[in-house]
Structure formats: structure tokens, C-alpha cells
Amino acid sequence: MSEAAARRAPWVAGALVAAALVVVIVTTTPWHLIDVPKPDAAADFTSAEIDRQQRFRQELLPWSTTSWVLSVLVPLAIGFSPLGRRLYDVLRIGRWYLAVPVLVAGLGLLTSLVTLPTDAFAEQVTRDYGLSTESWGLWLRDRAVNWLLMSAALIAIALGLIALARKWRTWWWAPAAIAGAVLVLGVSFAYPVLVEPRFNEFASMAPGPQRDEFLQLAREDGVPVKDVLVADASKRTTALNAYVSGFGSTRRLVVYDTLLKDASPAQVRLVVAHELGHAAEDDVLHGTLIGTLGAAFAVVLLKLVLGARMADPRRTALLLALVVVGTTLSSPVQNLVSRRIEARADHHSLRLTNDAKTFVEMQRALSVRNISGLEPSRWRYWMFASHPTPPERIAMGRAWGSEQGDPVPPLVRR
């Protein structure tokens, strides 16, 4: 192949992958489910509940936002300056494939240490408001495990990219894009059995009427669920939650022990119906497909930005900085898709249970218990909100109830 064709190839491939990514997002994301009225927090939350949520966020957000800013700025400041290459040279490790893991893990550790104080202050706020129950030892242990897991993932990515670039100076991006897509697929499949047990213990729900009801609900929904797992979330939090992860043989329906203990059976049933909606729509697989295309596109972008310089291990810090830029810039799109997916699962739970009143009450109860943000700022909504706000979810429940001839009145008398 001519040199000109080799230069054009990543541009063409990038355009094709980007087009495929846009098509998948546009065609598979549920953009409209039901006409929803404008959310009104005051209709369903008392002044005291709204004030408490606002106080909580006013105390928490300065610390959590500062921590997020530092987690972005530290790798950017190192990667986009000569400091990144100097740090590699300071290691004085002759073998690049030994130096790169040390540098990646070291930069991750540095970022964790820089954000440690602000994260600790944020954790203290959640303790003051009764959300966190974990000991400081467990909190530090979780941070250490998270650092190890992230380091392992980034080391694998850096070593793979550099090795391919050193072997094929011009065409390294092609096998790297394929490998990146396969890696995302593998991680999504293995996450429930490799990562989740590092943070929680899981046990099958004890036999009884509630477990039988959940399995029966799954059968009625046409969702193959062999078991319902209970996570020991109470050792870390008082928040109520449930989730679905994995796909195929690793798919699992997990409920927090706090949910089973503190929510009413009807509310738990609605939460489970929501998670069954994710399973019925193969939402994890849908997200994985977007992730595989996104990973392939990211590798092509790295080729266009770094070219043959990808083979230089002294630019490892720059690679990490570019990863941070990519994940930060893609967050609004990821959250937009996630919010629509979550809204579809809410809609699914309403159709499955036909209980708009309990749905609205449940969303209110979860929000009060979890001190969820009712009206986040626009920039925080786009950057961090993976779920609709509680007033948005309540508005959907109320709209669905009205469509079914079962309107739900405001929960707060004015």
C-alpha cells in the first residue's frame, strides 16, 4: 500500500467507526417513551426535605467537585508537559515493558494521594448525614482496591498499544482498535465475577415468598433469571439500590440488603421490575456495543494524534492524559444515553406492575433516603447524572398513571 493510502486509512476508518457509533446511539437509544409534564419537586417533597437535600449538596459538592477537578488536572499537567517524559527517565528501568507499569501505577497512586484529603472530607459529609456506614479502614481499603484495578486496566492498555506500535509503526492502530473493542466486551462480561466480588459479598436470596415473587415476575416478563443475589451493601451505606450487571451466563440481578430491610414489599417489587427492564432490553449488552465502538474510535484518534510516537514509552504519561481527555469529553454523551436507558427501565416497571401510585411513592422514598439531588445545576446534570432526577422519574410515573386512568395526586399538600 502506498504511503498516501496509509495516511488516509485511519481517517477513513475513524469516519466509518464514528458513523457506526452515531447510528447505534441514535437508533437504539429510547429517545421518547411518554409525554411527561414539567417536573415539580415541590409537589412531592416537603420544604424540610428539599432544604436537607440542598444543605447536603452544599456541604458535599465543594469537596467532591474539587476531587474530580484534581483527578483530571493532575494527569493532564503531567502528561502534557515535559514532566511526564522526565518521570519516565527518572525511573532508570532498562526494559520499557517494566518501566511502563511502574509509571502508570505511580501516576495513579499520585492522583489518589492528591485527591485523598478532598475525598476524605466528602466521605465525612456522607457520614454526617447518615449515608455512609463503612469504617475508615474499609474506606481506605476500597480506594486501594480501586487503584489496583484501574492501574491493572491502564497498564494492560498502555503495554498493548506500545507493543503494537513498536511492532507495526504504521498500522499498529488497526489491530489495536480490534483489541480495544474485544477488551471492552470481555471486561463487561467478566465484571460481575471478577470485579464486583472485590467490593461486596453476594448470597442467594433466602427461599421464601419474596424470592418466589421476584422469580415469578421475571418469568412473566420473559427474562431468564436463575437467581436473585443480595449484596451486603449495609457495611458501607444506608442507601437503597439494586442493579443488573453482566450478560449471557454472567448476568445477575442484585438487590442491596438495605433495600430488602427498609423498603416495603411493593416498593422492592417495583425496583426489581425496573432491573428486569434492563435485562429484558439487554441494556448491558447495548452499553457494551457502544463501548466497543467507542474504544475502537478512541484508538483511531490516538493514531491521528500520536502517530508513530505511540511506540515511544517515554510518552506513557501523555497517553494517560489523552485517556482522561477522552473519558471526560465523552461523559455527557454517555450520561445522556444512560438517562434514557434508565427512563425506559422505569417505563418498563410501570407496565409490568401497573402501579403508578406506588412507583411515585417509591421514587420519593428512595430520593429522601439517598438524599438524591432534586434539581442539580445544568453542568452537573450533563457531566455526572447517569439517571433522571427524582422529580423527572416521578413526573413519568404520574404521566403513565394519567394515561391509564389512574392519576396520582401530589404527595405534598399545598
What is the set of active-site residues?
275, 346
**Residue 134, all three cell numbers:** 463503612
**Residue 177, all three cell numbers:** 482498535
Cα(172)–Cα(177) distance, integer angstroms: 9
- Neighbour tally for 79: CB within 10 Å: 22
Cα(151)–Cα(27) distance, integer angstroms: 35
Q: Is 348 annotated as a binding residue?
A: no
- List Cβ neighbours of 299 (8 Å cut-off, separation of 6 or more): 161, 173, 176, 177, 180
Number of separate helices (H) and strands (E) present in the chain = 14, 4
**Residue 78, all three cell numbers:** 503531567
* Residue in 337, 388, 338, 383 with CA at minimum distance from that of residue 367: 388
Q: 408 in the Ramachandran plot: left (φ > 0), alpha (ψ -120 to 50) or beta? A: beta
Q: Is 347 annotated as a binding residue?
A: no
Residue 231 and residue 261 in contact, taking contact as beta carbons nearer than 8 Å: no
- Neighbour tally for 31: CB within 10 Å: 11
- Neighbour tally for 359: CB within 10 Å: 28
Residue 21 and residue 293 in contact, taking contact as beta carbons nearer than 8 Å: yes
**Residue 236, all three cell numbers:** 458501607
Coil, helix or strand at residue 129:
coil
> Rounded to the nearest 5 degrees, what angle is found at the Cα of 299, between the Cα atoms of 84 and 112?
40
* Residue in 377, 363, 340, 361 with CA at minimum distance from that of residue 409: 361
Q: Is 278 annotated as a binding residue?
A: yes
- List Cβ neighbours of 34 (8 Å cut-off, separation of 6 or more): 347, 396, 399, 400, 403
* Residue in 231, 240, 197, 168 with CA at minimum distance from that of residue 390: 240
Residue list, annotated binding site for Zn(2+): 274, 278, 342
Annotated binding site: 274, 278, 342
